[in-house]
Amino acid sequence: MKLKAAIVGASGYSGEELIRLLAGHPQVDLAAVTSRSLAGKPLIEQMPQFRGLVPADLCFTASDAEALTADASLDVIFLALPHGVAAEYAVTLVAAGKKVIDLSADFRLGCPKLYEEYYGKPHPEPELLEKAAYVIPEVTPDGWQSAPLIASPGCYPTSIITPLYPLLKNGIIKTTGIVANSLSGISGAGRKTAEHLLFAERAESVKAYGLPKHRHLSEIEEQLSDAAGESVVINFNPHLAPMRRGIASTITVPAAKPEIEALYSVWESAFEGRACVGILPTGQTPDTAHTVGTNRVDMSAVYDERTGNFVITSAEDNLVKGASGQAVQIMNLWFGLKETEGLF
Ligand SMILES: NC(=O)C1=CN([C@@H]2O[C@H](COP(=O)(O)OP(=O)(O)OC[C@H]3O[C@@H](n4cnc5c(N)ncnc54)[C@H](OP(=O)(O)O)[C@@H]3O)[C@@H](O)[C@H]2O)C=CC1
Ligand SMILES: CC(=O)N[C@@H](CCC(=O)OP(=O)(O)O)C(=O)O
């Protein structure tokens, strides 16, 4: 029996990417796609690239949590909604016993006070926050599978937490003096129209933003502190880059054990058999162009003797390993499927 899946917010960038992945997934039947603006319209009329991949009569329906709870056939519901909005849907769906994977930031933090600090208002559903699990499948300790709601990580955090987590856990790097510079493709901002995101504004231009406390810093530091067993403080400097998709992160990290072989040995053992992590040899740097459309985060490291720092680089597709692909990877593991089913 195939899993029946629904996507709430299917007209956005990550929703559209979920349609691509779930329509091609051999164990999934894409049963519902919702959108307020496209309700009632046939999916293939709005997104002709999916012609032949989804049933011709599949139409967008209204984004209505009650209607989704009433559909007893749904096994899993993906929320591809803005943060703040996702929590409203999650609370109704989880109360009705639905399994929910949330792509937004609403359930990513363990600490409600941290949410308030970074998102500027009290957490809308602190009780549900306690029950949710934050999952990067390659680093999150087992046990998350029993949660009713899974928070899929942010795009920047995946590119920074994945390489650093095992290194902090194994004492290869220090917990202070870490600096992460990240560049994101414009699709990272979602399908909204905003003047500063227009082609004419962004082409031939790179710009830092969100300094010094971008909201993703909260989930990055919380997860890395869990890995280290002590507080980790980092500088996180995000940039918008003139590309459609991709995140490239360059992270300088003071070495606790200044041997590049030790770093690679930890990575190789932590990521053994994990197809969604690509480890490149020292001296080769990952390229966003090589990850577009894949559910892989590529990483590499060099040791700089002059500064005593490791320089770690990573690259991924923000809409795949940074969002929808990772959410499908989580679904696969949650429902006992092969981790990479429908992804490679
Ligand atoms: N873009 C990226 O690279 C990544 C995005 N994410 C997260 O995933 C989520 C979706 O992002 P993304 O796809 O980029 O965003 P988009 O802006 O492209 O899409 C948002 C979707 O939510 C719907 N929506 C907006 N407001 C409401 C509302 N008030 N009630 C119900 N539906 C609403 C929109 O559809 P309609 O108006 O038709 O109802 C649309 O389908 C966000 O939380 C984002 O932060 C996570 C990782 C990476
Ligand atoms: C380029 C760009 O604008 N990126 C978004 C982050 C990407 C994202 O969607 O993050 P969440 O999943 O946490 O919402 C930003 O900086 O707010």
Within this chain, domains 3-131 and 156-318 share the same CATH topology: no
> Which ligand 2 atom is the nearest neighbour of the CA of 82?
14
Return the biggest CA–CA distance within the chain.
63
Q: Which residue among 155, 195, 223 is best mutated to probe the pocket of ligand 2, counting the most ligand atoms within 8 A of its Cβ? A: 155
- 213 C-alpha vs ligand 2 centroid, how far in Å? 13
> In the CATH scheme, what architecture does the domain 3-131 have?
3-Layer(aba) Sandwich (3.40)
**pTM to 2 decimal places:** 0.98
* Beta carbon of 189 within 6 Å of any ligand 2 atom: yes
* Beta carbon of 246 within 6 Å of any ligand 1 atom: no
Domain residue extents for the chain: 3-131, 156-318
Contacts of 201 (CB under 8 A, 6+ apart): 195
- CA distance linking residue 81 with residue 105, whole number of Å: 10
Per-residue pLDDT 10s for the chain (344 aa) are: 999 999 999 999 999 999 999 999 999 999 999 999 999 999 999 999 999 999 999 999 999 999 999 999 999 999 999 999 999 999 999 999 999 999 999 999 999 999 999 999 999 999 999 999 999 999 999 999 999 999 999 999 999 999 999 999 999 999 999 999 999 999 999 998 789 999 999 999 999 999 999 999 999 999 999 999 999 999 999 999 999 999 999 999 999 999 999 999 999 999 999 999 999 999 999 999 999 999 999 999 999 999 999 999 999 999 999 999 999 999 999 999 999 999 99
pLDDT at residue 193, rounded to an integer = 77
> Which ligand 1 atom is the nearest neighbour of the CA of 16?
13
- CA distance linking residue 315 with residue 6, whole number of Å: 29
* Beta carbon of 9 within 6 Å of any ligand 1 atom: yes
Per-residue pLDDT tens over the stretch 294-331: 999 999 999 999 999 999 999 999 999 999 999 999 99
Q: Which of 118, 47, 125 is nearest to 79 (CA)?
A: 125
Contacts of 127 (CB under 8 A, 6+ apart): none
* Beta carbon of 82 within 6 Å of any ligand 1 atom: yes
Protein residue with its CA nearest to atom 30 in ligand 1 = 85
pLDDT at residue 6, rounded to an integer = 98
ipTM of the complex: 0.98
Per-residue pLDDT tens over the stretch 148-183: 999 999 999 999 999 999 999 999 999 999 999 999
Q: Is 276 a catalytic residue?
A: no
Protein residue with its CA nearest to atom 17 in ligand 2 = 189
> Which ligand 1 atom is the nearest neighbour of the CA of 106?
43
Cis peptide before 82 (omega within 30 of 0): no
* Beta carbon of 187 within 6 Å of any ligand 1 atom: yes
> Which ligand 1 atom is the nearest neighbour of the CA of 17?
13
- 4 C-alpha vs ligand 1 centroid, how far in Å? 21
* Beta carbon of 184 within 6 Å of any ligand 2 atom: yes
- 172 C-alpha vs ligand 1 centroid, how far in Å? 37
Q: How many residues does the chain have?
A: 344
Domain over 156-318 is classified CATH 3.40.250.10: no
